[in-house]
Structure 1
């Protein structure tokens, strides 16, 4: 009877198969572990990021909560004082992601990656109001529009003067009689003093039609003169609230401030405009309000929000958008999170909910 063949595997081969079996069973266990806890960097930038003592709010925070929930991300928030610190944390690996109104620029793109943009902003100017003299206000309204308004008013006065003369000239000859020119002049006089509510009482209609015209003109003149007076007063008031800086062209010879490492400071540097750097935008606006600066350059949406929150009578934000730019999330170069983040962002930005979030902070 032949002997049974026996085979003894080499020691190294047995060890290989043993490791293979271990990997087969261990891999599902590794996949079952919770996802890595992302470190998310941000800074205060109302209304995009609003920091409170116990919570974070703001338009970008709402956006991030929606995206992180969609991707089922586990994360922790890390706050910094300046945008420069936020971006440095991402660049050096201290943070996996930065959220906020982060402007996409060529300089930043060289060291970071960015997500799909979620908002279009731009640079704006905050400045202080200066009070003009009353004479400046009067000169500002002395234009063609004022002459047209005065001409229209004189025409209406003349029309009612003609009507009262036509109805009164036969039965009220003592007041509206005489030649046509004299009678029309008396009618114009009556119409003017009635409109201004002076009403000397030297002339009064006696006929039914004359009194009817007078009644209509009394009510119409109150509305007419009130509107005319309000328009002139408004023009004088607006002219007295001129801003100290009116546009980009004046920044090169005024005292300008900007927050450190922001798109506003980069914008001024690119234009070779000297400026004073501040740790944050709030400090720059405080200096502006105290008269230490003539203008502050920063993200236009943030300037509008902060000045409105201050309810200051001295600060004003100019309407000009100096330079349009997109806001996006910042990631380290080659981040594996970027593709999934972009897909989730695009899905959410296309929903009515995103528009509702924007409206809640900007309207």
Structure 2
């Protein structure tokens, strides 16, 4: 039996109304929320820094955010102790940063390329520097030796200028007194060498002016040498060589740190500590002379201790990942870019 035309006319509006209602209900339903992946992060200036409000910033933070955005990863940072970063990856974290290479531990399932080359730093005892400290270093046997040598040179030059000027220059005659004449020559040599040039004593003969010209040229080089030597006496020209700075000294290292016994083989003794805090305690108690540690991390943790950068370098840190994939590819692509290299170069220069 065929349906009547009137019945079909009634059903069509009802079907259209049902479709509209179902569509509206579907649009009103909340969209499924995508779970955010946890990213373990430890504070290690200048790479990762947490503000008082809890926000994270720093080169490593910006690097990860840019790579996660390009690879479509949704994440949230979870503050973690630096010693627990590797364990966080085993516990299901998407990534961990910054991850340092640690001796004796299995590597992360996947790692980005190292995003910075750091130097070996040497942590010393608390510095009570300043003017008095520098002066105390200046007045030593080396400084006395410089004064004696310089005085001898001035006396020789003063005697020469007196000998060639004493017959025709009243300034050097001094009534025939050799002592006063040579004393004036000594004074003239010193004033000329320092480029002060009071003008109270002036060579007047051709021979005297020739001696003066030679002495002025020589004293320019002498002044430069003397200045460099005095700077070295006060520590301003200290060597940055790791081997030179640790030779014959007791050096502390931290277990698991990238700085190990291979880097400190020039030391007289190398002592290993379980943590950096233990090494710093030993430093304060004079059990070790210096603590060797990555420079950037040493500056962040040294407190009032002095930290010196050496010429020895190491490749670190990186970002650990739970698995290889698009995120790692994006991280490596950014790290290899010239823009990133310029940024990390500025970080190194500013420190």
Match of 2:308 among 300, 310, 317: 317
The residue number in structure 2 matching 1:190 is 184
Task: Report the Cα offset of residue 153 of structure 1.
Answer: 5.4
Structure 1: which 5+ residue stretches go unaligned? Answer: 1-31
Structure 2 counterparts to residues 135-214 of structure 1, below 5 A: 137-139=140-142, 150=150, 154=154, 157=157, 161=161, 165=164, 169-170=167-168, 172=170, 175=173, 189-196=183-190, 204=201
C-alpha RMSD of the superposition: 5.5
Between the aligned partners of 1:68 and 1:50, the Cα distance in structure 2 is 19
| Change over 3 Å in CA distance of 1:290–1:81 after alignment to 2 | farther
Contact kept? 1:121, 1:324, Cα under 8 Å: yes
Task: Give secondary structure in 1 for the equivalent of 2:77.
Answer: strand
| Change over 3 Å in CA distance of 1:71–1:108 after alignment to 2 | same
Structure 2 residue 303 is matched with structure 1 residue 300 = no
Structure 2 counterparts to residues 52-131 of structure 1, below 5 A: 52-54=51-53, 55-83=55-83, 85-93=84-92, 95-103=93-101, 107-109=105-107, 112-121=109-118, 123-128=120-125
Structure 2 counterparts to residues 21-36 of structure 1, below 5 A: 36=35
The residue number in structure 1 matching 2:232 is 235
Give the TM-score of the pair, scaled to structure 2: 0.61
| Change over 3 Å in CA distance of 1:359–1:86 after alignment to 2 | same
Between the aligned partners of 2:205 and 2:45, the Cα distance in structure 1 is 67
Structure 2 residue 318 is matched with structure 1 residue 328 = yes
Between the aligned partners of 1:274 and 1:60, the Cα distance in structure 2 is 31
Contact kept? 1:157, 1:192, Cα under 8 Å: yes
Contact kept? 1:122, 1:324, Cα under 8 Å: yes
Structure 2: which 5+ residue stretches go unaligned? Answer: 1-30, 128-132, 193-199
Task: Give secondary structure in 2 for the equivalent of 1:275.
Answer: strand
Between the aligned partners of 2:281 and 2:181, the Cα distance in structure 1 is 61
Task: Report the Cα offset of residue 53 of structure 1.
Answer: 1.9
Match of 1:256 among 224, 248, 252: 252
Task: Report the Cα offset of residue 106 of structure 1.
Answer: 7.3
Task: Report the Cα offset of residue 33 of structure 1.
Answer: 6.2
Contact kept? 2:37, 2:74, Cα under 8 Å: yes
| Change over 3 Å in CA distance of 1:232–1:33 after alignment to 2 | same
Give the TM-score of the pair, scaled to structure 1: 0.59
Q: How many residues align?
A: 302
Any idea what the Cα deviations from partners look like across 1:320-349, whole Å, max 9, x if unmatched?
Answer: 52x7334221123xx1xx231232123322
Contact kept? 1:82, 1:261, Cα under 8 Å: no
Contact kept? 1:39, 1:97, Cα under 8 Å: yes
